[in-house]
Amino acid sequence: MAQLMKLGLGLAGDPQGAWFSALTKAKDIHEQREIERAFAEWADADSIASHIAYGIDVFCSNDMGNSNATNSILDVENRAWLTQTYGVQFMSFDDLLAGLP
């Protein structure tokens, strides 16, 4: 959410304006893609948070956080932190299939 808020505040031009309304004012395809990547990152973070909150110990995804410029929740460094801190185990779809009877 922090990435989206920062983008929205930058597009708003009015400090009193709602940051989320300004997200519709992307000037070009580059700003649109930046907003789309920020939404995707927010969704990834919410998915991880749900897994932690519900005590689900395996997160299955082939997403390695490469589409976000920096600090993706699914990049190698953050995956290691999530495993160490919360015990989240990451599996690819192939890993999951290999473990099925």
pLDDT for position 68: 61
pLDDT for position 50: 95
Query: What tens digit of pLDDT does each residue of 28-48 get?
Result: 888 888 888 888 888 899 999
Query: What tens digit of pLDDT does each residue of 41-84 get?
Result: 888 999 999 999 999 989 998 888 776 656 788 998 999 999 99
Mean pLDDT over 18-35 rounds to 79
pLDDT for position 17: 61
pTM score: 0.72
pLDDT for position 13: 66
What 8-state DSSP symbol labels residue 13?
A: -
Domain ranges of the chain: 2-98
Sign, CA torsion 37/41/44/50: negative
Buried b (16+ CB within 10 A) or exposed e, 13-45: eeeeeebeebbeebeeeeeeebbebbeebeebb
